[in-house]
Each structure stands twice: as C-alpha cells, then as structure tokens.
C-alpha cells in the first residue's frame, strides 16, 4: 500500500474526461490495491473543503473560479493561491499530477522540497490543429515549462501513443508509459434500453445521431452540424442530439438556425451519470467530429454501449476505433462526415456488425480495471 496524493485542478462535482479518469482509477486503487488516495483540487462554488467519495479523500483548496476565458483557453479555470501550502501538508509518498497546464513553480518547489516521488499523466497532448493561437501557445508552454515538469517526473503516463509521440521529448520517452483511458463496461452496455430517452426527447423511431463533448473549437461541432444539414436531405426524419455545453453554444445555435434544422437538433446538459448510458443506448450512430483528441472517453462510452462510430483520424482516435468499429474521416471535412454517416444509416446490417465489434473492443481493451492495474504497476516501479 502506498500513500498517493493526486493533483487535479478540477474534480467532482465538475465532470470532464480527466475528472472521470481520476475518480474511476482512484476508487479502484483504493478498493483493489489498498492504496491510500487523496485528491487535492480547487474548491468550486458550493463544495465542501473536505469530503470523501468512493474511499477517496478529497481536499479542496480555496480558489477563484473563472468560467469565461479567451476561446483558445477552454473554461473553466481556477486560481488557487494557497495550493502549494496545502500540498506541503500532505503526507504522501507519491504525488501524481493530472494536468501540466495548471501546476507551476510553487507546486514543483513543494514536491522537490518534500522529496516526493512524482508521476505525471498527460491527459492533453501538445495542441495541434485546433487553432493558430492554441497551437502556438501550447508549443511555447511545453518548451518553457511543460518539459520541465516532465524532466522532474519519475514516471510519465500518456493516454495514447499519439500523446506520447507528439508531446514527450525523445530523451524522456524511456520513462513514459502509455495507459489508455477506460470505461465501466457494466454501466455502459449494449443491453441498456434507450427508449425512455427517445420518448423524453420526442424522437420516436427517427434515426438518431449522438455526439458528446464540450462546445469548444477543438471538438469540431460546426462541421458536424453542416454534415447533419446535408444528411437531412436524405433522411428528413433524422435527429441530432449533442450532449455538452460551452462558449460556442450561441454560434452553433446561430448556424443551426441559418441552416433551417433547429427542429431536428437538440443540445442536452446536466445529465446525471446514472442516465448517461440511456442516451448512448437511444442512438443509432455516435459521431465525434473532433479536430484534436488525445484519448476520448466519449468514444469509449459509445463503444461500450455497442454503437457504430464515425469520428476523425485526429490524435489518438485511430488507436481506439478500428475499421471494424466505425469509419474514420479527415478533420474539418463536413462532406466526409456526411458521407460516412449516410452510408452507415442506410446499411442496417453493417451498423449492427460495427456495434458488436465496438462493444467487444471496449470490453477486451479499455476497462477502468485495466487502467488501474497498469497505474498500480507504475507506482510499484518507483
């Protein structure tokens, strides 16, 4: 058993891909490997300073919560001036950082002063193909600071081979291990009945396309909306549901109105985690039009739910989605997204085969149990 302090700038009740990773891996490290896990995070509005979740102790340090930022910095962001002081109080053998874009000199100084072992998980690869500002600022950050964190780390974990290849300098790759994100294959399952969601949203038996992600440029939702408008000409009854919120919502609403498809597109937010599988189950096809993606948990959720996939070949997507599971297209290509989706929706037998292949691949390769087991092996190695 080891005492481990995980550093994640945001944590539950905030829900994102990194937060889900920390929770799912953390609770398994507590239950199955008997580690003592503490998460040190920012205190968000309405949360307690100290709490516990699934055996994980949570300490929330006072912070300023910012939910309006420039477009190249997806919100939210927190400023926690006393974070390093709270870190110094932790009696941990291993410090595990889960976001290199938040932890700076004071954090690293506290770790070095206390002579702790350091593990860094790269949930985000170096920005590439998002926008000029995001790409350049990301490269500059890694050159002057991100690489310093990697150099100081005893071990580095990357969530995909693409993340490792594009982000970790060659002279540091020997201490980098690839451990993919996971999924709860019992919670997300092809046996779930999604009819209640179809009824709730008034979709009935219409063809349903589903997507899930923050409404930020890197997710490429504008290309999905353009593709869906083309698809409506072939399948007039088709519906599109996008799970997510973010700063691009007004622009996306405007584009949907301009294309005359507002009656067929629904944005959904605030879904309890217990109900998420119902939305995947309701869909005929899952589409993720992302421009940049290290290791998309949303793809794994759809695959575990037995859904055929249409996504781009950006980032780590091709490592998750094989040809048996779905179709990969080039990023920023609404015509390609449309072509892939319409062919699948008119080929029911292919949809069924791909759905079964998606489920099998998720169960065989991408469970949180696998992720926790490999993370435990990294801890033992140091």
Q: Which residues of 7-23 are buried (b: 16+ CB within 10 A; e: fewer)?
A: bbbbbbebebbbbbbbb
pLDDT digits over 309-353, tens only?
Answer: 999 999 999 999 999 999 999 999 999 999 999 999 999 999 999
Q: What percent of the chain has pLDDT over 70?
A: 98
Q: Please tell me the distance from the alpha carbon of residue 353 to that of residue 367, in angstroms, as a whole number.
A: 21
**The pLDDT value given to residue 353:** 97
SS3 (DSSP) at 147: helix
Crossing angle (nearest 10°) for helices 368-381 and 17-31: 70
pLDDT digits over 201-212, tens only?
Answer: 999 999 999 999
Q: Please tell me the distance from the alpha carbon of residue 29 to that of residue 223, in angstroms, as a whole number.
A: 39
**The pLDDT value given to residue 130:** 76
Q: For residue 69, what pLDDT band results from cuts at 50, 70 and 90?
A: low
Which fold does the domain 195-365 belong to in CATH? Rossmann fold (3.40.50)
The pair of three-digit structure tokens given for residue 350, joined into one six-digit string = 């292919």
Indicate if the pLDDT at residue 103 is higher than 60: yes
Query: Do the domains 195-365 and 3-182+367-381 match in fold?
Result: yes
Tokens 């995980």 found at: 6
Indicate if the pLDDT at residue 75 is higher than 60: no
Tokens 């974070």 found at: 83
Nearest residue to 25 (alpha-carbon basis) of 44, 4, 49, 50? 4
Average pLDDT, the chain: 93
Please state which of the ranges 69-78, 208-217, 288-297, 325-334 shows the lowest mean pLDDT: 69-78
Half-sphere exposure of 21 (CA within 13 A, CB side): 30
Please give the model's pTM, rounded to 2 decimal places. Answer: 0.91
Tell me, letter by letter, the H, E, C secondary structure of 350-371. Answer: HHHHHHHHHHHHHHHHCEHHHH
Q: For residue 70, what pLDDT band results from cuts at 50, 70 and 90?
A: low
Tokens 């000409």 found at: 233
Nearest residue to 226 (alpha-carbon basis) of 196, 256, 198, 250? 256
Would you say how long the chain is, in residues?
382
pLDDT digits over 360-378, tens only?
Answer: 999 999 999 999 999 999 9
**The pLDDT value given to residue 183:** 95
Phi, psi of 5 (to 5 degrees): -110, 115
Q: Where are the domains of the chain?
A: 3-182+367-381, 195-365
Please state which of the ranges 117-126, 131-140, 178-187, 214-223 shows the lowest mean pLDDT: 131-140
Q: Which residues contact 73 (CB under 8 A, 6 or more apart)?
A: none
The pair of three-digit structure tokens given for residue 312, joined into one six-digit string = 């781009």
CB 118 within 8 A of CB 95: yes
Whole-angstrom distance between the N-terminal and C-terminal Cα of the chain? 13
Q: For residue 297, what pLDDT band results from cuts at 50, 70 and 90?
A: very high
DSSP state of 183: B
Half-sphere exposure of 75 (CA within 13 A, CB side): 14
**The pLDDT value given to residue 354:** 98
Among the four given CATH numbers 3.40.50.720, 3.30.70.920, 3.40.50.2000, 3.30.420.40, the one describing domain 3-182+367-381 = 3.40.50.2000
246 Rama class: left (phi>0) / alpha (psi -120 to 50) / beta: left
**The pLDDT value given to residue 74:** 57
Indicate if the pLDDT at residue 150 is higher than 80: yes
pLDDT digits over 23-58, tens only?
Answer: 999 999 999 999 999 999 999 888 999 999 999 999
Q: Please tell me the distance from the alpha carbon of residue 321 to that of residue 103, in angstroms, as a whole number.
A: 32
Tokens 């140091």 found at: 382
Q: What is each CA distance from 335 to 245, 341, 342, in whole angstroms?
A: 25, 10, 11
């Amino acid at each position: 058993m080891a005492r481990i302090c995980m550093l994640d700038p945001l944590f539950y009740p905030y829900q994102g891909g990194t937060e889900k990773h920390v929770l799912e891996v953390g609770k398994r490290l507590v239950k199955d490997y008997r580690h003592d896990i503490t998460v040190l995070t920012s205190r968000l509005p309405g949360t307690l300073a100290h709490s516990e979740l699934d055996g994980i102790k949570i300490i929330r340090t006072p912070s300023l919560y910012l939910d309006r930022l420039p477009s190249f910095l997806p919100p939210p962001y927190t400023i926690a001036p006393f974070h390093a002081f709270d870190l110094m109080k932790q009696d941990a053998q291993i410090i595990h950082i889960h976001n290199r874009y938040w932890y700076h000199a004071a954090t690293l100084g506290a770790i070095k002063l206390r002579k702790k072992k350091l593990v860094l998980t790269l949930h985000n690869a170096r920005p590439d193909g998002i926008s000029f500002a995001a790409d350049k600022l990301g490269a500059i950050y890694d050159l002057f600071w991100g690489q310093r964190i990697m150099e100081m780390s005893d071990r580095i974990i990357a969530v995909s081979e693409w993340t490792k290849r594009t982000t970790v300098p060659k002279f540091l790759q020997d201490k980098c291990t690839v451990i993919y994100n996971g999924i709860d294959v019992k919670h997300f399952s092809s046996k779930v009945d999604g009819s209640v969601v179809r009824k709730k949203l008034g979709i009935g038996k219409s063809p349903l396309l589903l997507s899930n992600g923050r409404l930020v440029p890197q997710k490429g939702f504008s290309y999905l909306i353009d593709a869906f408008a083309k698809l409506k000409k072939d399948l007039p009854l088709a519906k599109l549901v996008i799970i997510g919120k973010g700063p691009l919502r007004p622009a996306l609403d405007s584009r949907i109105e301009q294309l005359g498809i507002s009656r067929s597109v629904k944005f959904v937010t605030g879904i309890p985690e217990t109900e998420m599988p119902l939305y995947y189950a309701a869909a005929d096809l899952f589409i993720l039009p992302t421009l940049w993606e290290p290791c998309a948990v949303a793809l794994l959720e759809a695959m575990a739910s037995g859904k055929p996939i249409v996504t781009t070949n950006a980032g780590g997507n091709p490592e998750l989605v094989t040809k048996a599971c779905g179709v990969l297209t080039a990023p920023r290509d609404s015509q390609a997204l449309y072509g892939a989706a319409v062919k699948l929706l008119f080929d029911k037998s292919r949809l069924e085969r791909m759905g079964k292949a998606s489920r099998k691949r998720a169960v065989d390769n991408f469970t949180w149990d696998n992720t926790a087991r490999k993370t435990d092996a990294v801890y033992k190695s140091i």
